[in-house]
């Protein structure tokens, strides 16, 4: 077996050889399987553990496994949200020497869930809207880099919480194609039409199982994706013409795109022959404006909405509290005096419930709600006690591996002043 097994991977993990490749995936022993919620798939999929991380193993043909492995690698290089490829396993055979299907191995995305696992009882209209909005943004990002998905659906997507919204990740690329010259309008519209049909069907399936809140219309939810996609695509690609005296609209356009989570790498500005009007059109745009700024300033890797929320707190801290005019110095001060004390305050046994950036966002939201109810600012220590007791303790784990979130989280719960305090309590 070891002589015939072929492994394709950017980095070979020797522990890959210890998995039961001589056995059909459907018959893998429970000792080799990690039980996690999974979406509907046309293939057999099992979760397992490999060198401290959870992996997803999918049986398919050797050609399809290799093709999807290459596509996922290309999408990762283009910084499109998708699962990380690990390996292709080919040349499998059982104990009698009979050939077995090839397998694609990907890393399970921590704190992510299939759409069916995002609600415990029924799907509410507001949750459905957030899901399709996240999927619409993912589809726009894929289309911008020239990727035609071919089978757009909630089932082929993983979702992570993102400051009250969701961030969507592509999890199944086997039906996709990447075009260097970009997509035609027809190819984009075909993907959108598939998305609308699939999403309506998935919501109707939930409805048939009694898992949809009364009043939620499956077709309306699917139409919402089409509408959101259209708005995003227009904001990113449409040209805009205005009078020469209205050049402030260039800044407005940039800010609007930044608000959607996109940077502008290049913009074309062209005046008309009579010199009285200006036309602008973004040439190259990329998502992640707030996420990249947060990572650059603090080293924290968060989703886009989480990053925007954290940056708002950081910017306000810098203006009202920090004595340094240097943005990076103020950011370091904020991380050590504000962010880390909050995250360290979470009990060890609850650290797998939500990722740190989402916890911090929710603590800020909880503090705001408590302050609204009381009509006065609530100290952070009191907020944390209430949040942990009344909110976090009732959530299920969304990580796949229990353990410290970072090496720093085992340190004592202290700040520069010796106690957990919100920066607003310092002024």
**Region at 51 (left for phi over 0; alpha for psi -120 to 50; beta for the rest):** left
Average per-residue pLDDT in the chain? 82
pLDDT 10s digits, 147-183? 999 999 999 999 988 777 788 999 999 999 999 989 9
Strand, coil or helix: what is 243? strand
Which residue, among 36, 23, 30, has the nearest Cα to 107 in the 3D structure? 36
Indicate the pLDDT class of residue 4, thresholds 50, 70 and 90: confident
Least confident of 5-9, 65-69, 235-239, 285-289: 285-289
DSSP code for 396: P
**Range list for CATH 3.30.200 in the chain:** 6-108
Strand, coil or helix: what is 171? coil
pLDDT 10s digits, 395-410? 766 654 333 333 333 3
**Range list for CATH 1.10.510.10 in the chain:** 113-237
Which of the pair, 424 or 373, is modelled with greater confidence?
Answer: 373
Distance CA 43, CA 297 (A): 42
pLDDT average, residue stretch 138-151: 94
Indicate the pLDDT class of residue 413, thresholds 50, 70 and 90: very low
Which of the pair, 21 or 247, is modelled with greater confidence?
Answer: 21
Distance CA 111, CA 406 (A): 15
Strand, coil or helix: what is 246? helix
Decide if pLDDT at 379 tops 50: yes
**CATH for 6-108 (3.30.1330, 3.30.70, 3.30.200, 3.40.50):** 3.30.200
The values of phi and psi at residue 22, to 5°, are: -75, -5
Indicate the pLDDT class of residue 89, thresholds 50, 70 and 90: very high
**Superfamily for domain range 113-237:** Transferase(Phosphotransferase) domain 1 (1.10.510.10)
Which of the pair, 282 or 82, is modelled with greater confidence?
Answer: 82
Q: What's the pLDDT score for residue 407?
A: 33
CA angle 353, 372, 390 (to 5 degrees): 30
Which residue, among 294, 173, 144, 158, has the nearest Cα to 233 in the 3D structure? 144
Distances (CA, A) of 42 to 48, 60, 72, 149, 293: 19, 10, 18, 16, 39
Burial of 372 (0-12, 13-18, 19+ CB in 10 A): exposed
Indicate the pLDDT class of residue 426, thresholds 50, 70 and 90: very low
Q: What's the pLDDT score for residue 400?
A: 47
């Amino acid at each position: 077996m070891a002589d015939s097994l072929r492994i394709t991977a950017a980095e070979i993990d020797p522990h890959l050889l210890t998995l039961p490749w001589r056995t059909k995936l459907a018959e893998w022993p429970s000792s080799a399987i990690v039980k996690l919620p999974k979406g509907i798939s046309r293939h057999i999929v099992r979760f397992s553990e490999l060198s401290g991380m959870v992996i997803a193993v999918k049986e398919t043909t050797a050609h399809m496994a290799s093709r999807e492995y290459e596509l996922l690698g290309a999408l990762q290089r283009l910084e499109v949200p998708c699962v990380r490829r690990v390996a292709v396993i080919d040349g499998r055979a059982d104990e009698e020497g009979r050939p077995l299907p090839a397998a694609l191995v990907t890393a399970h995305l921590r704190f992510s869930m299939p759409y069916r696992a995002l609600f415990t009882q029924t799907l509410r209209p507001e949750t459905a809207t957030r899901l399709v909005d996240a999927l619409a943004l993912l589809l726009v990002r894929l289309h911008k880099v020239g990727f035609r998905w071919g089978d757009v659906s909630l089932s082929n997507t993983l979702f992570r919480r993102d400051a009250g919204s969701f961030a969507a990740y592509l999890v199944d690329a086997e039906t996709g194609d990447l075009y260097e010259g970009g997509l035609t309008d027809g190819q984009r519209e075909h993907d959108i039409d598939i998305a609308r049909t699939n999403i309506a069907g998935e919501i109707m399936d939930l409805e048939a199982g009694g898992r949809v809140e009364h009043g939620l219309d499956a077709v309306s939810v699917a139409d919402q994706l089409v509408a959101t996609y259209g708005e995003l695509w227009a904001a990113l690609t449409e040209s805009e013409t205005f009078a020469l005296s209205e050049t402030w609209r260039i800044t407005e356009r940039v800010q609007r795109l930044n608000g959607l989570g996109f940077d502008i790498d290049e913009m074309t500005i062209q005046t008309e022959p009579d010199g009285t009007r200006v036309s602008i059109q973004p040439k190259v745009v990329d998502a992640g404006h707030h996420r990249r700024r947060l990572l650059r300033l603090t080293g924290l890797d968060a989703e886009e909405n989480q990053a925007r929320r954290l940056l708002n707190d950081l910017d306000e801290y810098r203006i009202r509290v920090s004595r340094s005019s240097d943005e990076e110095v103020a950011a370091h001060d904020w991380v050590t005096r504000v962010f880390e004390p909050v995250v360290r305050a979470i009990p060890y046994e609850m650290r797998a419930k939500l990722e740190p950036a989402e916890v911090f966002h929710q603590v800020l939201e909880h503090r705001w709600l408590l302050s609204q109810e009381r009509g006065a600012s609530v100290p952070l220590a009191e907020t944390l006690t209430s949040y942990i007791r009344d909110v976090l303790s009732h959530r299920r784990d969304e990580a796949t591996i229990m353990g410290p979130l970072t090496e720093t989280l085992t340190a004592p719960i202290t700040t520069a002043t010796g106690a957990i305090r919100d920066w607003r309590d310092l002024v």
